[in-house]
Amino acid sequence: LAATLSGRRLAGIRLHSDTSGLIVSVGRPRGPGMVVTLLAGYPAPALAGLGAAWLAGSGRSAAVLWLWLLLLALVVIQVRNWFGLWSCLVAGVVVGVIAGAAPIVVQGVAAHALALFLLLGALRATLELQRSRSRRGGASDADQLGRLTHLPGILWVGVLVLVAAACLVGGVALLGIPALLGR
């Protein structure tokens, strides 16, 4: 979505078994479109998790599941590898069965779990971004952002970690988890 909105053309999505992925877009290799494209992949799951937490925490668990199915349907159209296709189809079947046939309480648990999965996964991915900076010799998304914006890659990592952490804290509060823990 970010690539398309910033003037680039989406060429495909690849999902890997190590939880990494790659969105391939075509367009100018420099400029705001490339910055937006590189930047969007890290806060997107955190923001989606925050939205899911808001919906689930306000009693709209079924909406979380149906929106997730819609997102999976849009992603499966762009997936360009077998593992990614398989992952999307399996997730779609599981979420579809829960959304369409499971009792409301199971839908609630699934929506809360999905929100937490997105929130925790986003934070893990941003922390992993810093580790990959040392292993990949300047090829990470943060390093590419640094070259495009003339700001250090570690600054971009810091911003992304702060966004993911803030979304996690907000999502936990929206889900009512502190109340469940007696706090």
Question: Which pLDDT tens digit goes with each residue over 21-73?
Answer: 777 777 777 778 788 878 888 899 999 999 999 999 999 999 999 999 999 99
**Residue ranges per domain, the chain?**
2-25+43-180
Alpha carbon distance 145, 90 (integer Å): 34
If we measure between CA atoms, which residue out of 14, 19, 24 comes closest to residue 128? 19
Contact 145, 130 (CB under 8 A): no
Q: Is the pLDDT of residue 175 over 60?
A: yes
Neighbouring CB atoms inside 10 A of 77's CB total 11
